[in-house]
């Protein structure tokens, strides 16, 4: 009879507007943290019990529980083994859990489960991904097919990054402007294997013509981006390689810089050495967009002839 009365009370609550004792559950966790001694991650669980008592807070990594908070028990906290990491109980409570000394094998989905106390015992759960990053040991290495160029040349640049977890992304930069990015392909399963990254950039240096005055008086770069569908192929255990293509006009100075940046989420970023690429026998651009050869040279000679003829006729008269 008592059980029937409890169920009737709950049904009456739902019919009168749905009284819930647990609302606005959310989890806050960093998308990525660095691995190693002293590195840490703070995971927070926010909720509104609307005056009801808390029954328990349970934290999971994937399906394995590693931290529990039950206010009715003494002590209220309980820690379960989390290989390769430690839960700092001095900074963990009913709102958060603080994990220290993480390694990459602790990457995964973290879940917070909140349960309200009697009479509803309402339970809800939220999740968030967390990646523990192992950084590359060295800075990215940049190689260029050659340090000089001519008009209508094609230069090839390679950027390679040491093994890391997860594989780094590579961004290409010309004259301090980001022009292309290679996003490393991630495996679907968490195998926790370190992978290197490699990207190729093909730079097509176009000839300036009379229809591109912006390239002469502006910043000198062609606005078209790299190909939207780069070439892919595999090099051993290395992550997938992208061959990116970029077209540009020669800058007015006859020189431009190139470098690449390796990055992993927002916790790691490192830049390669800066390389200077200079034009071989640079040719200044004219107002008409022509070079100092060809039609411009003929026009100059014609103008000189007219000046000389005019001067001779003036003396004769």
| Ordered domains of the chain (ranges, CATH) | 14-133 (2.60.40.10), 141-297 (2.60.40.10)
Are 193 and 145 contacting, i.e. CB atoms less than 8 angstroms apart?
no
Number of other CB atoms surrounding residue 110 within 10 Å = 23
Per-residue model confidence as pLDDT tens digits over 155-198: 999 999 999 999 999 999 999 999 999 988 776 567 889 999 99
pTM over the 0.95 mark: no
Which value, in Å, is the radius of gyration of the alpha carbons in the chain? 33
Confidence (pLDDT) at 8: 45
Mean pLDDT over residues 204-218, rounded? 52
- Give the pLDDT band of residue 10 (cuts 50, 70, 90): very low
Please tell me what DSSP assigns to residue 15: H
Dist CA 205 CA 60 (whole Å): 54
Per-residue model confidence as pLDDT tens digits over 52-108: 889 999 999 988 999 999 999 999 999 998 888 899 999 999 999 999 999 999 999
Tokens of 20: 């819930």
């Amino acid at each position: 009879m008592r059980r029937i009365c409890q169920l009737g009370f709950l049904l009456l609550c739902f019919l009168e507007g749905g009284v819930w004792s647990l609302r606005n559950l959310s989890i806050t966790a960093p998308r990525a943290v660095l691995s190693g001694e002293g590195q840490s991650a703070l995971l927070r669980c926010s909720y509104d019990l609307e005056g009801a008592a808390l029954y328990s807070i349970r934290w999971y990594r994937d399906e394995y529980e590693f931290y529990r908070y039950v206010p009715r028990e003494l002590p209220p906290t309980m820690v379960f083994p989390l290989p390769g990491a430690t839960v700092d109980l001095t900074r963990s409570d009913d709102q958060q859990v603080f994990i220290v000394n993480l390694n990459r094998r602790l990457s995964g989905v973290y879940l917070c489960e909140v349960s309200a106390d009697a009479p509803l015992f309402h339970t809800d759960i939220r999740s968030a991904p967390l990646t523990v990053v192992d950084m590359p040991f060295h800075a990215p290495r940049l190689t260029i097919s050659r340090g000089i160029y001519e008009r209508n040349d094609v230069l090839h640049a390679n950027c390679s990054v040491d093994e890391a977890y997860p594989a780094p992304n590579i961004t290409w930069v010309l004259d301090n402007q980001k022009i292309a990015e290679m996003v490393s392909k991630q495996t679907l399963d968490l195998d926790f294997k370190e992978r290197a990254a490699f990207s190729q950039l093909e730079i097509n240096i176009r000839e300036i013509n009379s229809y591109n005055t912006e390239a002469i008086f502006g910043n000198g770069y062609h606005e078209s981006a790299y190909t939207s569908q780069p070439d892919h192929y595999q090099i051993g255990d290395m992550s997938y390689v992208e061959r990116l293509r970029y077209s540009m006009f020669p800058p007015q100075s006859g020189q431009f810089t190139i470098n690449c940046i390796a990055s992993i989420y927002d916790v790691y970023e490192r830049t390669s050495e800066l390389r200077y690429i200079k034009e071989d026998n640079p040719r200044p651009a004219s107002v008409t967009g022509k070079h100092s050869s060809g039609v411009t040279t003929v026009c100059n000679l014609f103008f000189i002839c007219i000046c000389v003829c005019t001067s001779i006729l003036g003396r004769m008269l």
